[in-house]
Amino acid sequence: MGMMRKWFFFLLAACIGLAAEAQEVRTVNGEKYLVHTVEKGETLFGLSKHFAVPLDALTEANPAAAEGLSIGQVLLIPVKAQSKKELKSAPALANGELLHTVAKKETIYGIARKYGIGPEELRRWNPDLEHGLVVGMVLRIQAAASDAAPPVAVQPAAMDSGKFHWVQAGETLYSLEARFGLESGAIKEANGGLPEGLKAGTYIRIPRAVEPGSAQPADSGVVARPEPGTVLHIAFLLPFSFEGDSLGTVGAEERMGSTTEAAVEFRAGVDLALDTLKANGLNAEVHVFDTGMKPEQWNKLFKSDAIRGMDLYIGPFHRAAIESLVRVSGGTPVVCPVPQSNKVVLGNPTVSKAVSGRADRLKLMARYVAFKHARDNVILLKPDIFAEREIQGLVMRELQEALLPQSGKLRDSLLVVACGRRDVAGVVGKLDPVRPNILVVPSEDVEFITTVVGKFAAMVPKYAITVYGMDAWSSVNTLDVGALVKLNVHVPTSSYIDHASPAVNSFLAAYRERFHNEPGEYAFLGYDAARYFIGALMRFGSGFPKRYAEMRTDGIYLDFRMAHMGPENGWSNSGAMMLEYNGQGLVRAK
């Protein structure tokens, strides 16, 4: 390191030290707090390290910080929560970056692990490390890249349309909402739910009130629609290649594994959606990134500057890759565009899942049966299959709850009949020779469903029987399609291509003309995901998840009914549809 560089860091450390000595100290309810005004680029995690205070102590003293930091926000740093041991070696803070002074016996790997980053990142930010680690050297750490804290804690401070208020003794949520012209609950929502209640001597965020006549709710906290001419930056993250390959250098046969083939199809559907969106005014720079299929591939990408500064991320396909992306996305919306369990949105409030899950499909089936068949003889079949107890319990609860409010229902409680994999005699004894019999079969066990279909198809038309099964049935080759039609089998699904739909046929024609090929399901998925989520961004800005209720657009493949999975979680599409087997095949039920 040159003499000038050492002198620069010496002056910088001295200036920071002088600033710390002059820092305001405030006493609230007998407790001392340092007062810190948030600057551009700072993160909650970085401040936690700088002041040697646990994250939960910071958010407890500053409820608004639970929703993210804002430039100009005033934070109270609880002195009693500071670790005296960690404070001695705490990093300095400058322009949102942490400045770590290397101590004896420290290693590159140890320092990187301390801040939740990779050794490669540390070297990239500090080129002088190529000459070795030296005691006293000052290293730059970008706290926003850390994976050692929740996403909101590593999100850099942003501009905020609201303001901050110093709570006085005697003030209440009701009085403050009335004073600032806010709807009931607006302040609580803007401050992480205020789990400790409104406390005098703390700062809270006051969300911007809406002017009379405005369509935006006072408590939405949503960024307004982008101004005309604004260029949106949209990233698609798709698994095109294996490790060591790139889309441009590897041959088609090597790339077209099941996952990469899906990525290529998805991208083709996206291209057609972008044509439609541009015709409707989309002004965007679209960035397509190859995440590969292994952590070492996508993590390398997420550490690069190329991935920063986006308004929307669609992808990756892998749950682990999405969780890695969330750590560096800075609060930008992330869309999981392919089937995943709802676990992908748990603890990830910026993530939206595009395809509904099995639980959503089963809930829809329960509501559908209750609405259409409450007066009929509804029987739930419960085989003794341990692996299916969870879905059996889910359907039992949902169906019972959905039947309760129905007028004219046959019975007050759901009829549940236990049976074996090859023995459904108990169910036969419960059939009604006069009323329609509705058999609800929440099972994917091939042996059992084969027994059910074979046994009850033989009993039609002596008994009127309709069977409700699961979407997996459509892929069981041993089931006789004629028997499925005879039983008018219904199954719930997350997606469906209606070849009688003009919109579907228009998409097919455009795809064939452009790509000289037939689209697979991932092409339809890419088209729908791009149109829906980019359309939401165009209409409502980057805060669009809070406005999902106003998005009524359904796709040509998916139904979109976005539901919030909880205050600490993201959003999941609960949209599903019922299909039925009839003389025309498997079609959408009325």
- As assigned by CATH, the class of the 232-357+502-578 domain is alpha beta
437 vs 144, residue with greater confidence: 437
| Least confident residue range of 91-100, 228-237, 349-358 | 228-237
User: Residue for token digits 């996206």?
Assistant: 270
Domain ranges of the chain: 3-160, 232-357+502-578, 359-493
Return the pLDDT at 209. 58
Q: 85 burial class (0-12, 13-18, 19+ CB within 10 angstroms)?
A: exposed
Instruction: Give phi and psi for 82, each to the nearest 5.
Output: -70, 140
Instruction: Give phi and psi for 496, each to the nearest 5.
Output: -160, 140
58 vs 256, residue with greater confidence: 58
Listed in sequence order, the DSSP H helices in 319-443 are 319-326, 358-373, 389-403, 425-428
| Least confident residue range of 158-162, 290-294, 345-349, 461-465 | 158-162
Instruction: Return the closest-CA partner of residue 267 out of 290, 248, 295.
Output: 290
Side-chain half-sphere CA neighbours of 417 within 13 A: 21
Whether 245 has a pLDDT exceeding 50, the answer reads no
**Which pLDDT band holds residue 408 (cuts at 50, 70, 90)?**
confident
Return the pLDDT at 213. 40
pLDDT in tens, 307-323: 888 899 999 999 999 99
Whether 441 has a pLDDT exceeding 50, the answer reads yes
Return the pLDDT at 268. 96
**Which pLDDT band holds residue 4 (cuts at 50, 70, 90)?**
very low
Interval 481-506 mean pLDDT: 94
Which overall architecture, per CATH, does domain 359-493 show? 3-Layer(aba) Sandwich (3.40)
Return the pLDDT at 159. 64
Mean pLDDT of the residues in the chain? 85
Dist. CA 39–CA 105, nearest whole Å = 33
Q: 403 burial class (0-12, 13-18, 19+ CB within 10 angstroms)?
A: buried
User: Residue for token digits 């804002």?
Assistant: 70
Return the pLDDT at 257. 47
Q: What is the DSSP letter of 153?
A: G
Whether 202 has a pLDDT exceeding 90, the answer reads no
**Which pLDDT band holds residue 409 (cuts at 50, 70, 90)?**
confident
**Which pLDDT band holds residue 351 (cuts at 50, 70, 90)?**
very high
Q: What is the DSSP letter of 70?
A: B
124: left (phi over 0), alpha (psi -120 to 50) or beta: alpha
286 vs 23, residue with greater confidence: 286
| Least confident residue range of 124-133, 137-146, 148-157, 499-508 | 148-157
Interval 53-71 mean pLDDT: 86
Q: What is the DSSP letter of 305?
A: G
Instruction: Return the closest-CA partner of residue 434 out of 377, 372, 487.
Output: 377
Whether 17 has a pLDDT exceeding 60, the answer reads no
Return the pLDDT at 191. 80
Return the pLDDT at 251. 39
Write down the pTM of the prediction: 0.62
Dist. CA 132–CA 478, nearest whole Å = 66
**Between the CA of residue 520 and those of 101, 240, 264, 270, 274, what are the distances in Å?**
55, 16, 10, 13, 18
Whether 30 has a pLDDT exceeding 60, the answer reads yes
Whether 178 has a pLDDT exceeding 80, the answer reads no
Domain 359-493 in the same topology as domain 232-357+502-578: yes
Partnered with residue 89 across adjacent β-strands are none
**Between the CA of residue 554 and those of 90, 244, 418, 562, 577, what are the distances in Å?**
52, 39, 39, 11, 12
Return the pLDDT at 455. 96
